[in-house]
Structure 1
Amino acid sequence: MPPAEVVRRAAAAWDGPPAPPVELLPEHVSVADVERARRRRCPTAPAGLAVGVRERDLAPAELDLVDGGDPHLLVLRDARSGRTTALRTLLSAATDRFTPEELRVVVVDYRRNLLDAVPREHLSGCCASAPAAAGTLAALAEKLTARLPGPEVTVEQLRRRDWWSGPRALVVFDDHELLAMSATDPLSALLDLLPVAGDVGLHVVVARGAGGSAAALVQPVLRRLRDVGSSALLLSGPPDEGAVLHGGRFRARPPGRGQLVTRRSGRDGDVLQVAVTEEPVGLP
């Protein structure tokens, strides 16, 4: 008997309630909707940075960059895949959650897409050229290096990570592939701090194009980010790139749709829809 006929007969014979409809991942969701959904699910528990909605259960998708998770993130994408939206949403979530005394932000943005994405009181620097980025990141590296624990730091302080005070530093570097036209990578000033980022309060987010991203991960800074187990948000990209990071692979996706892969999830990371910092659209 053909499968379609089996289904028809089974449906005709069933007189119980119908199965509930399958809820699909929305193509558009707002930051306000995601925050309301997060508070309904865990109103008192500390949360990561809520950046969108997960496909598997339509729960808020959170990045745990600060609270003991992976301190760094790579955002890999094709053109018009929602990269600017993802970075804006991440910056909005970070500056909403942390005060300027708790978090300061450095933005490296050669194309000037993020000039208004960070409140002035949180902004430590906005660099639109390689020389400006090199100077700003070198100065940041000097400050953070001073936080490295010396011999006077006790075992208890090492466990608590409280031997220094001051704000954490979030560095967001957009269009990193444009460095192919530069002699040096300004992020190299932070190279030795990437493995000990949790000890000095450093968080780095790097966005670059999907094309050639697997090969680009041999560059010193990107290789170090890969080696320390950084998470990656894979937005729409060419499948022929193969395995990119943690076994994750690109797929052609709608704008804002991506897969968050971590060293724990591997290639089975969550598919999510990135929220937009606009008016609510009614997340179920």
Structure 2
Amino acid sequence: MYLNFADNAHLMVTGRRECGRTTTLATIMSEIGRIYAPGASTAPPTSRPSAQVWLVDPRRQLLTVLGSDYVEKFAYNLDGVAAMMDDLAAALARREPPPGLSAEELLSRSWWSGPEIFLIIDDIQQLPPGFDSPLHKAAPWVTRAADVGLHVFVTRTFGGWSSAGSDPILRALHQANAPLLVMDADPDEGFIRGKMKGGPLPRGRGLLMAEDTGVFVQVAATDLRR
């Protein structure tokens, strides 16, 4: 079982403490580095498909997974995240399709060129939800991700998952039917998606829910530098 970035632009990950949420993001970032050429503005030009990462990392555990030739921007506090979202929204707005494009042009995304953009957010619960969220400027682009080359990967603690919709990014990911990886969780929280519940699982193990189906997966481990 593997995650195809072309078929699944986004992913939500939730679970209890020490379940492997941050390690999951580290593994995804490592795969970005394996599949794509560096795409940050400081990287040299390339003819290969490239990627740049915009990283929100409150605990600063992911800063060394990829180098500055991949990581376009990172933030770990509220003011930094707000400034980063302003820049991201502006970058995505420049990729918005102009009116009058043909079906072929829309499918080929011929109106812009550049790297795929990966917005990676660890521990989103550490940011204010609702109208106070610094992420609200990026949320409208989640459902239009295919047009602008955006991918969003988010982790959140499992407690209170039923109220996660108060966060603009998580709400947009739900609207986009993004896959959800539920790692070690409390079944008493009730149904998570459709008729599926979470439950106790060993570290690194999770139930990957897509639409109304679920499959158990083991996330490959990637070391985090402390």
Q: Would the alpha carbon gap of residues 169 and 188 (structure 1) be closer, same or farther in structure 2, given more than 3 Å must change?
A: same
- Residues 92, 117 of structure 1: 8 Å contact kept: yes
1:108-162 superposed Cα distances (whole Å, 9 cap, x missing partner): 0111111211222101111111111111121111111111111253332112222
- Residues 130, 167 of structure 2: 8 Å contact kept: no
Counterpart CA distance in 2 for 1:131 and 1:187 is 11
**5+ residue gaps in structure 2?**
40-49
Alignment of 1:1-284 (within 5 A): 61-65=1-5, 67=6, 69-101=7-39, 102-180=50-128, 184-263=132-211, 266=212, 268-277=213-222
Counterpart CA distance in 1 for 2:161 and 2:129 is 16
Deviation at 1:257, TM superposition (A): 0.5
Which of 224-233 and 150-159 deviates more? 150-159
Deviation at 1:272, TM superposition (A): 0.9
Amino acid at match of 2:31: A
Counterpart CA distance in 2 for 1:72 and 1:168 is 12
Counterpart CA distance in 2 for 1:246 and 1:139 is 36
- Residues 246, 262 of structure 1: 8 Å contact kept: no
Counterpart CA distance in 1 for 2:129 and 2:209 is 29
Give me the CA root mean square deviation.
1.7
Amino acid at match of 1:97: I
Counterpart CA distance in 2 for 1:86 and 1:123 is 17
Deviation at 1:184, TM superposition (A): 2.1
Q: Would the alpha carbon gap of residues 182 and 117 (structure 1) be closer, same or farther in structure 2, given more than 3 Å must change?
A: farther
Counterpart CA distance in 2 for 1:183 and 1:200 is 24
- Residues 81, 235 of structure 1: 8 Å contact kept: yes
Deviation at 1:191, TM superposition (A): 1.5
Amino acid at match of 1:216: A
Counterpart CA distance in 2 for 1:181 and 1:158 is 34
Deviation at 1:221, TM superposition (A): 2.5
Q: How many residues align?
A: 213
Counterpart CA distance in 2 for 1:82 and 1:257 is 8
- Residues 95, 119 of structure 1: 8 Å contact kept: no
**5+ residue gaps in structure 1?**
1-60, 279-284
Deviation at 1:204, TM superposition (A): 0.7
